[in-house]
Structures are given as structure tokens and as C-alpha cells.
Structure 1
Amino acid sequence: MFGKLMLAAATAGLLLTASASADAQSYKDTVKELRVGLIGGENASDLMTRNEGYRQLLEKELGIPVKLFPATDYAGIMQAIGAGQVEMAAFGASGFAGAYLDCNGCIEPLVVPQEKDGSTFYYSVMVTRADSGIDSLETAKGHSLAFADPNSTSGYLIPNATFKAQGIDPEQYFSKVGFAGGHEQGVLAVLNKQYDLAVTWTSGQGEMSEGYTRGNLRAMVDKGLLKMSDIKILWQSGKIPNGPTAVRADLPADLKEKLLSILLDLPKSHPDIYESIERGSGAGYARADMDLYKDIIDLRKAEATGGRKS
């Protein structure tokens, strides 16, 4: 009897040890590197340089190799994260919604950029050259329009849906409609007189003369590519939720928590890296959830089926 008890105790001890070992398993045991997708409406070299400090920080904090993968457009990042070729990427709201739908929920939002006033939204705007003679959406009729990218929230989805809801079919209303390949490219196309109009994104807060607090206009002003006096804003959308930094849903829970901790702490612990990522005067990040993107997901579904969200 004593021998049986000893055997049972030894067996139980082995099971407890195995269970504790499994519970203590780290993401480092299964995730050998973290691949981060980048899209920023600028050339790949600038994008990689601007995010190198971020890559080094992630690699140091996570204890595994981190690689950056720039994409030429939103579709590239959407496809890459859906196919498991990257594990994390920052999206616009529409790009996130599209990727979520395309891969049947294989991704989830981690954090959302937060403005200094606590808001987590931005605006789509339509711009033209200051000397174009166009001063409203009504007088823009018959002129050429550059959308940014078919998977951009502010650069296509929201303005296109809003115009259609107002009875304006862009293909009929404007003389020519095209995609510039990105937000910066669209505004440059207007400045270079390749298009009369372009849509892009802005925080809509702060000094207009500086390109507002953040967004494509501010980034172009800071890079010396734009003077706000050279353009005028003809139209502004309603509030659009900031796009999330999203991760593959199948990543280990402890890795997700580690990434969340790094990003939430980033503005305080590494303000220079935070500034290089956000290029503006945001206040950091807030936890994100699916509720924030429900309307955008519904709008993407309607767009895909040729319908219109009421």
C-alpha cells in the first residue's frame, strides 16, 4: 500500500511539474522573431529610417529579433498580416476593417493613437491649390480628384461614401478620378497640377498654418514639402476613429501583453521614438477594442457589395 501511495504521489508531482512548466512557457519558445509591417504614405527609405529606433526598442524589450517590412500601399500590409507574413502593423481604420474581413477575424486591435485632448479621431479633408479658383465642393464639380488609396479610410472610404450619401457620384461629378498611391503623393499631385483636388487626413486641431497638430498635412509641412498658404481646404468629413496598431490574434497572450505595455508606456519612456512614429503632438495610446471599428467594418461590407450604409 505504501508503495502505491508513493507511486501516486510521484505521478502527481510529475503532472504538477509538467503543468507548471507549460504555464511558464514564454512567447520566446514559439515566436522566434517579430515582423512589423509599415505603411506611411512616404517612400520606403524614409519609412525605414523613421522607424529604426522603434525596431531597436522592440527588439531590446522583447528579447527576440524584430524586422521591419515596408509596403508600397495599404493592400500590401493587409495581405501580409492576413497571410501571417507579419505579426503587427499600424492601420488606418478602413485598412484594419478590410484586413479583418479578408482574413475572417485573424487580427485584433491593440492600441489606438490618442490626441492631447483625449480624443481618438481625425478628419478627412479635400484640398486644392490656393490659386485654383475652386472655393467649395459645388465649384469643384467638373475638376479632377485624386483619392489616396482604395484601402484608405480618409483618403477614399469616408469621402467616397459621404459624397454618395449626398447624391454625388464621384465618377460622374468630377472630370477625372484616380488614386495617387498615398496621401503625400495626392497632395503633391495637386501642387504639381496633375490633379485639381485631393483628399487626405488631418487632426483638424491646432494651428492650420502649421498643418494642424498631426496628419499628412502636418507631416508634409514638417518635411518642407508643403506650405499651408499654397492650399485651401474645401471640405471636411465628420469624425473618423483613429486607426489601430493591430496584431495577429493567434500571437501568444504574453507577447500581446508585452507589446501593449511597451506602446502604452512609449510616450513617457521614449518620447523621441514616439515622436518619430506619430509625427505630431499626440498624447500617446489608449487600449483599443473592436467596438471602435464596428461602423467602419459595416461600411467596408457595404462598399464591397455596392451598397450604402444608412
Structure 2
Amino acid sequence: MKCLSLFPSAVSARQILRQQWRLVLVLVLLACSLQSLAADPVRQQPGFRIGLTAVFLDNQTSFIKAWERYLEQKLGEPVRFVQRQSYREITQLLLDGQLDAAWICGFPYVRFRERLRLLGVPLYHGKPLYRSYLIVPADDQQTRSYGDLEGAVFAYSDPDSNSGFLVPQAELRRRGIDPARFFSKTFFTWSHRDVVRAVADGLARGGAVDGYVWDTLSQTHPELTRRTRVVWRSGYFGFPPFAVRATLAADDFDRLQQVLMGMAADPQGRKLLRRLNLDGFGRGSDRLYDSIRKELEVAENGAE
């Protein structure tokens, strides 16, 4: 009686081992490819994608196109500005690897510091700093601080804005006030300019706005800002930064940073900076945003 072997022949075993090693090699190569894509999903193709929000640059299409062309000329490859309405949308695209860099607020930068890298900080009046303003209608001569706005309708700019949301939240907490109960109604305008409009038009009795934006509007649209009055100014914070995703290649980081830093020394770059009402860009430091970290702690836990 012929018995069937329970074991393959030596030749069959070698064939199986060879096939197994081929499979392992394919899986290793596939894993490496997937890891490469995960590490830098955007830069698989030429061009930089940079995020902007309407919080700063609303209704400035011609300027944005001019800035794109400038960056393309300096970088030697395509540049595309990606615009969204809110900080949250732009920040999420950056965190998801769908953008290389973005001009965001210091608040989301602080929240997601471990997944972002500071690229550059705008210089305003020669410093990488700005403040939050509390504004009211120009004919309101009584309001002096947040404490005077109990029961009022109040306008915020964006829930991820330091100057337009976090600062007023923290300021009320310092006074022992629950922000959720203090105002009769609150709403988001999704841009600092529209906070000014809301207050000027009487849609809100008060609003929190980026001081840089209000100051710039006072030069470009004085007919709007003169219908409002600044009644309170915060301390200084690190200016809303340009940040990149942490996975961006070092060479691409250096190139982008060099172009931003060089704008102030370039005639065309200076022209663009003047339209932004900025002096240039500095490398900045993460310590610039420690004051925002303190605001976040107060807003979440109350003052000591």
C-alpha cells in the first residue's frame, strides 16, 4: 500500500520558501511606500500648498494672486493658496497633511504644537506682537471694559481665534464671570473685519477683534472704524504665525522660510508687505506664545 507523505518534497519546500520571501519583500516595499506617503503626502508632487483664512485676508483676491506669483518666482515651483472660512478648517487640513504651511492663529498653534513647526512670525511695528481690542459702537461713551457689557449682544470672530475669542473668555474668567451666562447673545462673524462691521452697524453692542486688523482698517477703511470705539486693549501676544506640518521635509522648510524672511529686503516683497501693513517676517520663538498658553489655562480653569 502506497502511503501519502504528510510533508512536501525538498524541491517543493524551497519553492514555498522562495514564494514566502517574495511575499515578504513585496509587503516590506509596500509598507515603506505607505510610510513615505504618510510622512509627506503633499510633496509627492511639485508645488507648495499654503492655507489662509478669511479671518485675516477677506476680499483680497488680487493681493493673494500677487503673493502667489511672488512666491512661485522665488521658489521656482507652483504655489497655491488654499482658503477656508475658519481657522479650524485650515488647521485641520494642515494636520491632515493636505497643506504644507498655513497662516494660522496662535491659539491653534499652541493647541497642536507637537504636530506643527513654527515657520515665521509677521513683524508689526517692528515686533512679532499684537493685542486684542474690545470695541463698542462709537456713540457708546459709557462702556469701559468687559464688565460693562452684561446682558449685551456680543460678536466673536472665530472660536479658534486668540484675540477674537480666547482673550475675552479669559478676561471674563479673571473677573469670576461665566462667559456662557454673561451675554444675552453671542455670535461668530468668521472674520475680524466683520466683527468691526457688526459693531459699527449696531448688530452687536461689543466685539473682540485683532488689534492689528482694526489698526489696518483704520487706515484703509476709516469710514468703518470711526463708527466704533476701542475701549480696552489686552497685553501683548505672539503675532499669528506661519506654521508648517511637522512632517515637511527640512529642505522645503528652509526654502519657504528663506523666502518669507527675505521679503523685507526685496522691492517686490516690500510692496506686498505694505499691502499687509507688515514690516516683514522673523523666525520667532515658541516662547512668544506662552502668554496665549496662560490665556488658555485661565479660560479653561479660571484665574488663580
Q: 1:136·1:234 contact (CA, 8 Å) conserved in 2? A: yes
Q: Which runs of 4+ in 1 moved over 6 A?
A: none
Deviations 1:85-108 (A, max 9, x none): 11111122113223x25xxx2211
Moved more, 215-224 or 123-132: 215-224
Match of 1:135, SS state, is: coil
Larger radius of gyration: 2
Q: Which amino acid aligns with 2:85?
A: T
Shift of 1:200: 0.3
Q: For 1:168-183, list aligned pairs within 5 A.
A: 168-183=177-192
Mapped to 1, the partners of 2:88 and 2:271 lie a distance apart of 29
Match of 1:139, SS state, is: helix
Q: 2:170·2:296 contact (CA, 8 Å) conserved in 1? A: no
- The counterpart of 1:61, out of the listed 43, 63, 74, is 74
Q: 1:128·1:232 contact (CA, 8 Å) conserved in 2? A: yes
Aligned: 1:39 with 2:53: yes
Specify whether residues 264 and 42 from structure 1 end up closer, same or farther in structure 2 by C-alpha distance, changes over 3 A only: closer
Deviations 1:71-127 (A, max 9, x none): 1111111111011111111122113223x25xxx221111111233x4221111111
Shift of 1:177: 2.0
Mapped to 2, the partners of 1:42 and 1:255 lie a distance apart of 25
Gaps of 5+ in 2: 1-42
Q: Which amino acid aligns with 2:71?
A: L
Aligned: 1:164 with 2:158: no
Gaps of 5+ in 1: 1-28, 203-214
Between the two proteins, what is the percent identity of the paired residues? 24
Match of 2:97, SS state, is: coil
Aligned length: 260
Match of 2:208, SS state, is: strand
Q: 1:127·1:235 contact (CA, 8 Å) conserved in 2? A: yes
Match of 2:131, SS state, is: strand
Q: 2:200·2:224 contact (CA, 8 Å) conserved in 1? A: no
Q: Which amino acid aligns with 2:178?
A: D
Q: Which amino acid aligns with 2:160?
A: N
Aligned: 1:154 with 2:163: yes
> How large is the Cα RMSD of the aligned pairs?
2.4
Shift of 1:43: 7.2
Q: For 1:196-211, list aligned pairs within 5 A.
A: 196-202=205-211
Q: 1:48·1:70 contact (CA, 8 Å) conserved in 2? A: no
Q: Which residue of 2 aligns with 1:78?
A: 91
